[in-house]
Structure 1
């Protein structure tokens, strides 16, 4: 089935829905709704209270049972999947233990709000995150955690949770509905966009792709991008295998990670959004090869990605004027 990539609630069937934001770039994440009778579960919330409230209003209008969200599963700790938790003060929140620990150390929404206010209009942060409202967010952290694997039910519907990270983050979790052959992947899958490796290792992300490909799954709801199927996962695996091989060549040749990111040819993925993410992704390969445990400094990484976009724009402009 060809899924429309439009904003709003999409009916996957049998009480399963995907809420898409039809952009997929920085902060524009997807969510999911699972309903059996009056039992409800939400897979992830959105980046701010306004967007989460808008999503909940849409869900409640189309699926009346969604007026009361009983359970939330957070697939990982990033704010664009967790900042809206506070919109549901009575809901039980489940995550992997690693996600719960990571959430305690992520940049608080109010700090993000202050950073945005101080950023000049041309700043990369303002351009990528300026549409979000970080003021007024009440953070809610998981009330229950698990390690490895656990299962739960929404009515008679069985749901399997697999802690598949570290990859994108330490706590990445897959939400699998085996009877329906549907999986919500969080940011283990970015569809039609370059993924971003914050935690790594990249080899673990390749393993996560293999794990998904081995499951009996027809429909995949990614953390960002359109609803898809296993073909997107196979392409994502190809991306990481290629990235690792190309970065490893340059590491062995003595090239630094930043220069390697600029040199690697990513034309086969030229239709994907956010190519600037090659910078943290190549750096992640370098960390893995060198067995360096230190994670990237986020604001420094964003500064480098901003430079990437600026240089690529200058190159494109120079080419067009030849």
Structure 2
């Protein structure tokens, strides 16, 4: 039976009441550390350092995704190495404040820089790093560009970072039992980017969803993203697991209804307006101005909405 932890419910209500806490206008919420936010315990033994919902900047040092860790009783499992050596090092310092258990595994939730560029810190500690094979391949292709971007915006906070891929890869899933936790490392199917990875704690009803799920910032849609596949993965693979608690890739811990509202429903909305526009004979230039105003309150709307529309237009034009 899954426990219904009152703390997360209260936590979520408090966050809903103070939406400004998720704002991309806040440059840094934890000035004592290179981390944007001090880690919080979401449910017992599951912690996350909630990143900024803004693009990466010097002020947030690239900590604009969630860096989570599990205290199992027989070691710690970290989800995401962070965007740099220094972010990984800072997260490790916070872990040591919580427990003297050693970090035994790091899991990269995708192949983007903010999930993998801190790998070299953990590898230097002798910690294995696990990622999906497709995410590892994406990082190998893009690591140089990701490092250059980090050095450009983070400046001295990029020091020590050397791109290193994972030490281990998986294809479909990996089940791990460590201490009191049963951990399922899953690739549910095509979604936001190659090798999107979810960490499922079935006995706790908690999903560390990664970038399959968004709710406080607009989902970015990349060239090559199959939005129809993303919706299908959501409906056929994520929903049947019925998570009670969700830690998304970006933003505060929440529940399935909230991430469905701002991920699946957003994708359906955008595909709907693009599809209607295509039926009217519309062209790419006009697609950028399609109505997405229902989502204008989301962080990164200004940066992503028009680009998302153009990418989905290109995807659907030949469906």
Structure 1 and Structure 2 fold alike (TM over 0.5): yes
1:57 is displaced (CA, Å) by 1.0
1:33 is displaced (CA, Å) by 0.6
Matched with 2:105 is 71
Aligned residues: 275
Matched with 1:207 is 232
Matched residues in 2 for 1:132 and 1:207: separation?
Answer: 42
Q: For residues 181-207 of structure 1, give each alpha carbon's deviation from its aligned partner in whole angstroms, at most 9, with x where no partner exists.
A: 111111112221111012410012212
Confirm or deny: 8 A CA contact 1:209 1:233 kept in the other structure: no
Secondary structure of the structure 2 residue equivalent to 1:70: strand
Q: TM-score normalized by structure 1?
A: 0.78
Counterpart pick for 1:96 among 132, 135, 141: 132
1:249 is displaced (CA, Å) by 1.8
Are residues 219 and 258 of structure 1, via their aligned partners in 2, closer, same or farther at CA, if it must alter by over 3 Å? farther
Matched residues in 1 for 2:76 and 2:154: separation?
Answer: 32
Matched with 1:151 is 175
Matched residues in 2 for 1:133 and 1:10: separation?
Answer: 23
Confirm or deny: 8 A CA contact 2:109 2:196 kept in the other structure: yes
Matched residues in 2 for 1:17 and 1:240: separation?
Answer: 29
- What is the 5 A alignment of 1:110-149? 110-113=147-150, 116=152, 129=153, 133-149=157-173
Matched residues in 1 for 2:163 and 2:89: separation?
Answer: 15
What are the ranges of 5 or more consecutive residues in structure 1 without an aligned counterpart? 117-128, 293-322
- Most deviating of 236-245 and 137-146: 137-146
> Which 4+ residue blocks in structure 1 deviate beyond 4 angstroms?
129-132
Matched with 2:188 is 164
What are the ranges of 5 or more consecutive residues in structure 2 without an aligned counterpart? 1-8, 16-20, 22-28, 30-36, 57-63
Matched residues in 2 for 1:217 and 1:139: separation?
Answer: 33
Matched with 1:12 is 42
Are residues 269 and 178 of structure 1, via their aligned partners in 2, closer, same or farther at CA, if it must alter by over 3 Å? same
Matched residues in 2 for 1:245 and 1:132: separation?
Answer: 45
Matched with 2:89 is 53
Question: RMSD in angstroms over aligned alpha carbons?
Answer: 2.2
Matched residues in 2 for 1:164 and 1:258: separation?
Answer: 34
Q: TM-score normalized by structure 2?
A: 0.79
Q: For residues 117-139 of structure 1, give each alpha carbon's deviation from its aligned partner in whole angstroms, at most 9, with x where no partner exists.
A: xxxxxxxxxxxx45783343122
Matched with 1:274 is 300
Matched with 2:272 is 245
Matched residues in 2 for 1:212 and 1:13: separation?
Answer: 20
- Most deviating of 52-61 and 103-112: 103-112
Matched with 1:124 is none
- What is the 5 A alignment of 1:224-243? 224-235=250-261, 236-243=263-270
Confirm or deny: 8 A CA contact 1:178 1:216 kept in the other structure: no
Matched residues in 2 for 1:44 and 1:113: separation?
Answer: 16
Secondary structure of the structure 2 residue equivalent to 1:286: helix
Confirm or deny: 8 A CA contact 1:251 1:257 kept in the other structure: no
Matched residues in 2 for 1:2 and 1:208: separation?
Answer: 30
Are residues 113 and 180 of structure 1, via their aligned partners in 2, closer, same or farther at CA, if it must alter by over 3 Å? closer
Q: For residues 159-191 of structure 1, give each alpha carbon's deviation from its aligned partner in whole angstroms, at most 9, with x where no partner exists.
A: 112213432211101111000111111111222
